[in-house]
Amino acid sequence: MDVSEYQNLGIKPYKKGLCDLGNNIYCYLQPDGGWGWSNAGLIVDGDESLIIDTLFDENLTQEMLESMKEAEPKGMNNILALINSHSNGDHCNGNNCVETEEIICSEATLKEMSQESPEMMATLIREAPNMGALGRYFLKCFGSFNFEGITQRLPNTTFSGDMQRKVGDKVIELIEVGPAHTNGDILVHVPSEKVVFTGDILFIEGHPILWAGPVINWIDACEKIIVMDADFVVPGHGPVTDNKGVRAVKDYLVYIDTESRKRFEAGMSALEAAKDINLDFFSTWGDKERMAVNVNSLYREYREDEQREDITLLFQQMAELRGFNEEQSKKT
């Protein structure tokens, strides 16, 4: 492994706003790509369009939609569908802002979305000042977003496996690759234009987070993307990349799996392993505290335990790895 293989993975300028990928296909980017700062997509052909994902709150989503209307006023007057790549709120909380009759996701994603709500995040933000180190970490991650008053709008079309749609003459392939990052991850591939939108199967220059697994599904999803040989690979977070970026994420997943298993077999706890694994090759990637979740999920996989860890405990462990502690909270 060479650390240079995991740096400078972007192939387009990484700045906030709409990025033109050519032939009426766009992505919307939100640096720095950390917690909640996700990407989205727009595909237009003639007077038809399709949107891939919304953002973490309605204000951000409205801002994105305005930039899309400015770039493609004709197509944005006829949005055939909105696709949600997975269930995390930073990819679907703005659904109600999109003027379309159809919202599409995988069956597994709809089930997960139905168990989550923006109101839960709003409540946590309100309570965070009284939650010590955990609350301080939570505000660091999510305090920039406005979860108040969001109307949750769930998808009304679901599928399992693969689905095809058309926007004008452009064929759009929806490919289910979860469970991986979440239970229902999908890829959105436009073969004729050599573009793929990956949702959170790809975090570019940021640590991925393994909420679901198994990890082999995520590695296989990276392989599927590599075979597509796309000119532009739009991740869920981070800059637009190509197969170099996909291989970097695949290498990361293989590496943490190998290193976690060694420590599991040696009897280390998951948190001990997360602290012990050398991440020098990925030293420039953000949000390395996600290793607490990643190793916990891998250990659960090794034990063949389907019961996920309590989410509060996982965030407490991430807060600890990020350097937030109770002593600091008492002083502030």
Q: Is the pTM of this model over 0.85?
A: yes
What would the mean pLDDT of 290-318 be, rounded to a whole number?
A: 95
Pick the more confident residue, 115 or 260. 260
| Token pair of 192 as six digits | 């004729």
Q: What is the mean pLDDT of the chain?
A: 96
Check if the beta carbon of residue 290 is closer than 8 Å to that of residue 277: no
The per-residue pLDDT for 2 is 81
d(CA 244, CA 61): 30
Per residue in 135-192, pLDDT (tens digit) is: 999 999 999 999 999 999 999 999 999 999 999 999 999 999 999 999 999 999 999 9
Domain boundaries, the chain: 3-331
The per-residue pLDDT for 325 is 81
Burial of 1 (0-12, 13-18, 19+ CB in 10 A): exposed
The per-residue pLDDT for 154 is 98
Phi, psi of 302 (to 5 degrees): -65, -35
DSSP 310: P
Does the domain at residues 3-331 carry the CATH identifier 3.30.930.10? no
Closest listed residue to residue 140, CA positions, set 291, 285, 34:
34
Does residue 3 surpass a pLDDT of 90? no
Per residue in 233-249, pLDDT (tens digit) is: 999 999 999 999 999 99
d(CA 213, CA 224): 16
The per-residue pLDDT for 307 is 85
d(CA 273, CA 295): 7
Does residue 324 surpass a pLDDT of 80? yes
What interhelical angle do 132-142 and 311-322 show, nearest 10?
A: 80
Does residue 330 surpass a pLDDT of 50? no
Per residue in 65-94, pLDDT (tens digit) is: 999 999 999 999 999 999 999 999 999 999
The per-residue pLDDT for 331 is 45
Bridge partners of 42?
A: 26, 51
Does residue 111 surpass a pLDDT of 50? yes
The per-residue pLDDT for 329 is 45
| Token pair of 318 as six digits | 């991430």
Q: CA-CA distances (angstroms) from residue 163 to 176, 202, 281?
A: 9, 21, 37
The per-residue pLDDT for 133 is 96
The per-residue pLDDT for 326 is 58
Does residue 332 surpass a pLDDT of 50? no
pLDDT band at 308 (very low <50, low <70, confident <90, very high): confident
- Which strands form 157-159's sheet, in the order they lie side by side? 17-22, 25-29, 40-45, 48-52, 79-83, 103-106, 157-159
Check if the beta carbon of residue 183 is closer than 8 Å to that of residue 109: yes
